[in-house]
Amino acid sequence: MKPLIVFYDGYCAFCNFWVRNLCRWDTKDRLRFAPLESPKAKEMVVATGFDLSKLDSVLIWDQQKSPLAESAVVFEVVLALGGFWRLLLIFKAIPEPLLNWIYRGIAKRRYNWFGKLGQCPLPDSKFKHKFL
């Protein structure tokens, strides 16, 4: 099975916080990461026709189907992590439009709340293989 690629805002401090933690928590080595500004993201756009300009979100792509966005990303990551993380799947009982509304609200305010980095930081050397 191909790894899941998580495309994230490389300049967002909040996004980078989560990426660093996901690297540690991904004991099954199922996740790979690439900034939305990267050549890999451009490759995904060509392969899928996905329009990044209409979205302010983290994406996840299984390299076979169309990428997923917003709350769907969270649930795909939880499934990839497995173990006790699967308990978070209980939130799937909440209607998706409400989850996406909450997600968009956080995404819209993330720079104000958590800050914006001057450049996309380099990954920890032990997780370098996870970055595309």
Residue ranges of domains in the chain:
4-130
The two three-digit tokens of residue 77, written as one number: 């990551």
Quick: pLDDT tens for 67-123.
Answer: 999 999 999 999 999 999 999 999 999 999 999 999 999 999 998 998 888 777 767
Asked if 121 contacts 17 with a C-beta cutoff of 8 angstroms, the reply is no
Q: pLDDT at position 85, please?
A: 92
Q: pLDDT at position 10, please?
A: 86
Asked if 121 contacts 16 with a C-beta cutoff of 8 angstroms, the reply is yes
Q: What is the 3-state secondary structure (H, E, C) of the chain?
A: CCCEEEEECCCEHHHHHHHHHHHHHCCCCCEEEEECCCHHHHHHHHHHCCCHHHCCCCEEECCCCCCEECHHHHHHHHHHHCHHHHHHHHHHHCCHHHHHHHHHHHHHHHHHHHCECCCCCCCCHHHHHHEC
Quick: pLDDT tens for 38-47.
Answer: 999 999 999 9
pTM summary value: 0.88
